[in-house]
Amino acid sequence: MKRLDWNRLDAAAQRDALARPAQSRADELRRGVEQIIAQVRADGDAALRALSAKYDRCVIDVIEVDEAEFAAAEAALAPELKAAIKEAASRIDAFHREAAPRPVAVDTAKGVRVERMLRPISKVGLYVPAGSAPLPSTALMLGVPARIAGCREVVLCSPARADGRCDEAVLYAARVTGVHKVFKLGGAQAIAAMAYGTASVPRCDKLFGPGNAWVTEAKLQVSGDPEGAAIDMPAGPSEVLVIADAAANPAFVAADLLSQAEHGPDSQVILLSPSAELLDKVASEVDRQCAELPRASIAVQALAQSRLILVDSLAQAVAVSNRYAPEHLILQVAEPRALLDGVDSAGSIFLGAWTPESVGDYCSGSNHVLPTYGYARSYSGVSVASFQKQITVQEVSAEGLREIGPCTATLAAAEQLEAHRRAVTLRLAALEGRA
């Protein structure tokens, strides 16, 4: 990991210090995704089978997972894994149910009632990656809030293995959360299928879930097409930023950095600390622990574009973190809540020495589908609200129109929208018996 002193850097060097890894082959990637989407739109299921053979190296006869495959998946899983999936689902459900939006009704003036009613997005598509490692936890993070929201049709796509089957744990998690249909599809072709529909895959109104650069590019392209589908958020590679003080446990800090570095070679991890001694100890721990990891070769590539940064104070660390806007922010300091009010841009925050980011990935109850690549400045993580539409309703009585009509007419006149003004003044006149 590169070692830097924040206060010895000029403005340009500070920008470079917080730069994300560049998304390589941008033009080639864009064109490749465009071709895949066009192929799926033109040839439907036939394209999906051909693209699965090309990219996933598997032959798929029936695209949808059938009951026999669900049953076989459940039978194949160890009892302790099935229990853990159910346990995690229950915590995710408890938090998301409590945090879900509520209907609102407010009398903003006498005789003027304004309401907010909630309606589920009718058809949603969930994407669960399964490249270098299958992610049943993502099926939980997406399926649970979709169920709470009451979406009428929930479909899930996840890449098949070489044997033409999806990961057993992903299938079991999908069934636990009440997903209606699962398809053995991955990559940009899965996104295209859910956005535009095929003979097998229903067309969805909104798409959710993380993925590689091809999946992310496909989501951005379909979301920009009026005939495509909305998406949860833009996303990039996984990332974590840790703020640690001199008393932090170096082994804990190193473990948290590596837990994100092992995601992929384009992941990024950053440590900010006012303690040069802690940075030294963490650097040694990272080297020691990384050598023991099964995915060490991946982590090493991520660490090459990661940073250990010396700052003057914890307050400065928070300011730098806000500038970076991390997907995951870990506050491994003596009094983490003292820093919390200063944080304004982060996907999810983890407080104290005993809160590894891993618990949020799996079973604390929060969601792990979060904005990355700086999008935490303007986006939030997935929640029940992500699967709902909030529709406002208003009802005005005659007395209410007398109360707010003049205000409406004045503002309409200021905007030179005469029909707007008359829609009010005609009614006011009628109330006064002059119409």
Q: Binding site for substrate, residues?
A: 238, 260, 263, 328, 361, 415, 420
Whether 180 is a known active-site residue: answer no
The CA-based dihedral angle spanning residues 219, 224, 227, 229, taken in that order and rounded to the nearest 10 degrees = 40
Whether 328 is a known active-site residue: answer yes
| Radius of gyration for the chain, computed over Cα atoms and rounded to the nearest angstrom | 25
Q: Which residue blocks in 336-397 are alpha helix, DSSP H?
A: 337-340, 357-362
**Angle at the Cα of 172 from the Cα atoms of 168 and 174, rounded to 5 degrees:** 115
Q: Which of 217, 239, 262, 327 is catalytic?
A: 327
Give the closest residue to 26 by CA, choosing from 233, 256, 214.
214
Under 8 Å between Cβ of 278 and 250: yes
Under 8 Å between Cβ of 145 and 369: no
Detail the residues annotated as belonging to a binding site.
127, 189, 212, 238, 260, 263, 328, 361, 415, 420
Detail the residues annotated as belonging to a binding site for Zn(2+).
260, 263, 361, 420
The DSSP code for 104 is E
Name every residue whose Cβ is closer than 8 Å to that of residue 261 and which is 6 or more positions away in sequence. Answer: 267, 269, 290, 298, 299, 302, 303, 306
Measured in degrees and rounded to the nearest 5, phi and psi for residue 49 equal: -65, -40
Give the closest residue to 103 by CA, choosing from 92, 124, 86, 119.
119
Sign of CA dihedral 21, 27, 31, 32: negative
Element (H, E) at 183: strand 181-183
Distance in angstroms between the alpha carbons of the first and the last residue of the chain: 78
Q: How many helices (H) and strands (E) does the chain have?
A: 17, 14
Q: Which of 217, 328, 357, 368 is catalytic?
A: 328
**104-109 β-sheet, strand order:** 104-109, 112-120, 388-396
398 alpha carbon, distance to own chain's centre: 46
Measured CA to CA in angstroms, residue 45 lies from 39, 65, 88, 181 at distances of: 10, 14, 34, 16
Would you please indicate which residues are annotated as catalytic (active-site) residues? 327-328
